[in-house]
A and B are shown apart, each in its own frame.
Chain A
Amino acid sequence: MAENEIAIEVRDVTKSFKVYLDKGSQLKERLLFFKRNKYEERKVLRGISFTVKKGEAIGLIGRNGCGKSTTLKLLTRIMYPDSGKITMNGRVSSLIELGAGFHPDMSGRENIYTNASIFGLTKKEIDARLQDIIDFSELEQFIDNPVRTYSSGMYMRLAFSVAINVDADILLIDEILAVGDANFQAKCFAKLKEIKAQGTTIVIVSHSLGQIEQICDRSIWIYDGLIRAEGDPKEVDLEYLDFMSREMQKSMNTGNSTGACETERHGNGNARIESVSSFNSDGGEQTVFRTGETIVFRIGYSVREKVEDAVFGLGVFNSKGISCYGTNTRIDRFDVYDIAKDGTTEIVLENVPLLPDVYTLDFTIECGDGIPVDYCRHIYKIEILSSVGDVGVARIKHSFLLDDNIEKKEKK
């Protein structure tokens, strides 16, 4: 197997669907309502080309309806392109629809044979893989029970085990790593890496950019039926996230899912917070940020009566209502100050380590020993995105120091 042999070649592929406005497939309907057989052509792919080398793993990213799943369906040959050419070299297996042809009344073992045969395996080949499949599914003791007695998790595990053990040259995956419990998912992921190390070409469609970055050598970003960017997953994914946050920004101006929002406020009203806006470190206005980015809030306020010994503060809450951070100028040991005139205050949060979520913010003006002047709860919302899959509230800077006794596997 030469290093630079091509596994998949896609050339100028276009695909459109007919969206029937009112379709009749019966003779009567066809004849009677001849005029009704109108349809709209919806172009899903407008000419995409890419090649995948043998042993390479690529990720297709893009938002819903951009054509990435259609691309995958074309690669599996469930559908055919309207124009252009797709060449696939080698046996293709897909983790798109797991458990195709499973018969509920047949045993797990029989279903392995049926399901694997749909992938084009002969009886001999299935016999050789049977034990691997059963072992991987961890269903040894249930394997001779009818599949209808399985839980949905068991069902998926069996289906995944068959599909992943086909030993395909090209593996196509659509959002599958959501199979079973966390343990099994980790196992699937490890198996995927193993398969990749064996030289299998992999194409993944996923919303989890983290998974793509871990497995793929290359990301292809499809936007509106065209390839918008392609290259190192880390770079393309960032570009994609950036773009998405800008898009979200646009929809926010109308949809209002982040930014200014319903506020509860109380206080004596001597001063009032009039406006809140957020910026990135370059001064560009935005409300969607990435983990680790610097966020600048600009608070505009008006003063009705001089506020002596004023205190500005903020509070950050995640979508579960957990207080993630809160502080004010008193906590920060500012010298005592008064506010007498309208003005603006900027709060700079540097390298915010918060993990992806929608965050609600409180901004406050108080005076003296915490007497509220204008205490605005939930006055603003921001969203944080990230391509890393870590979990929790905030990213703690960390490193793993492995023992010297651990043998590192050579990357093939």
Chain B
Amino acid sequence: MSTIKELYAYRQMIFSLVKKDLRGRYKGSVLGFMWTFINPLFQLIVYTIVFNHILPNNNVNKYYLYLFVALIPWIFFSSSITIGAASIVAQKDLIKKIYFPRMVIPISYVTSCFVNMLLCFIVIFAVIFVTGAGMNFLALLTLPVIMIVEYIFALGMSLLTSAITVYFRDLEHILSIVAMAWMYLTPVVYSKDIVPDKYLPLFNLNPMTHIIDCYRTVLYDKQVPDLSSLLLAAGLGVFFLIFGTLVFNRLQKHFAEEL
């Protein structure tokens, strides 16, 4: 409770770190902020070519959209855990020299990734509009809820990974492998329906399965997502947030000495 109160007091710091990160990320590059959109766009093109044109018997209608609405949220999550893992180490000068609630750093990192995702959603809506795919406004109302659930889960994971990385630097590299494997074990480029039944319980344990599924239900299928699936994801998200916070609080006491 006191943690939340303190973080609230430091909201301006979170805000200015997010601003600094967003402004600084593409500083010096010619296309600047456009990279926020270009990067996922090209990933989309590559995946579409591979899964729609090279691999046979893929008969998903409008596969690019099917993929796009899942890929953007996935990129948010994966960058939160991989690059987010290094966030504490990257800010070691600050941590060694001055006090502030250490959680501010992963929080602002995840938040800046989140803002990036929101900006990419502009592109998603543009694609939906241009291709005339249409949308269901009632279903769209649930979109913020899904986003918040994903944010909570990403934050929990990021707290966990960033704190552990301080003591164990290899984690950063291990995580990039994990993130890749995790992506293919989550129905991002394929549908959950093609997952064999015997693996289904395992897939259901993965919060990202439900989260990605919800995004897709809202934006691709134009339906209100299944409440139980969303609740399950929210439950898992909150669990990881609390677990991440506990671990983080325990580990952060020796940050200054380990860095």
Which residues of A line the B interface, CB within 8 A? 17-18, 25-28, 73, 76-80, 92, 94, 96-97, 100-101, 103, 105, 113-114, 116-123, 126
Contact, CB under 8 Å: A76 / B98: yes
Interface residue B239 (Cβ < 8 Å from any Cβ of A): no
Interface residue B25 (Cβ < 8 Å from any Cβ of A): no
CB-contacts of B9-62 with A (<8 A): 9-13, 15-16, 20, 24, 27
Give chain B residues whose Cβ lies under 8 Å from the Cβ of A73: 256
Closest chain A CB from B17 CB (angstroms): 8
Contact, CB under 8 Å: A94 / B98: yes
Contact, CB under 8 Å: B167 / A25: yes
Interface residue B199 (Cβ < 8 Å from any Cβ of A): no
7 closest Cβ contacts across the A-B interface? A97-B97, A117-B12, A117-B13, A80-B253, A27-B170, A100-B98, A77-B99
Contact, CB under 8 Å: A96 / B97: yes
Contact, CB under 8 Å: A96 / B98: yes
Contact, CB under 8 Å: A120 / B13: yes
Closest chain A CB from B32 CB (angstroms): 14
List 4 extra interface pairs beyond A101-B94, A114-B16, CB under 8 A. A76-B98, A117-B10, A117-B16, A118-B98
Q: A96-B98, A120-B100 are in contact. Are A113 and B16 (CB under 8 A)?
A: yes
Give chain B residues whose Cβ lies under 8 Å from the Cβ of A77: 99
Contact, CB under 8 Å: A126 / B12: yes
Q: A103-B20, A117-B16 are in contact. Are A17 and B100 (CB under 8 A)?
A: no
CA distance A113 to B18 in the complex (A): 13
Closest chain A CB from B168 CB (angstroms): 7
Interface CB pairs A-B, < 8 A, 24: A18-B257, A25-B168, A25-B169, A27-B168, A73-B256, A76-B98, A76-B99, A79-B254, A79-B257, A100-B98, A103-B24, A114-B16, A117-B13, A117-B15, A118-B98, A118-B100, A119-B100, A120-B9, A120-B10, A120-B12, A120-B13, A122-B11, A123-B15, A126-B12
Give chain A residues whose Cβ lies under 8 Å from the Cβ of B11: 122
Contact, CB under 8 Å: A80 / B169: no
Closest chain A CB from B259 CB (angstroms): 10
Give chain A residues whose Cβ lies under 8 Å from the Cβ of B13: 117-118, 120
Out of B94, B169, B170, name the residue touching A118 (CB < 8 Å). Answer: B94
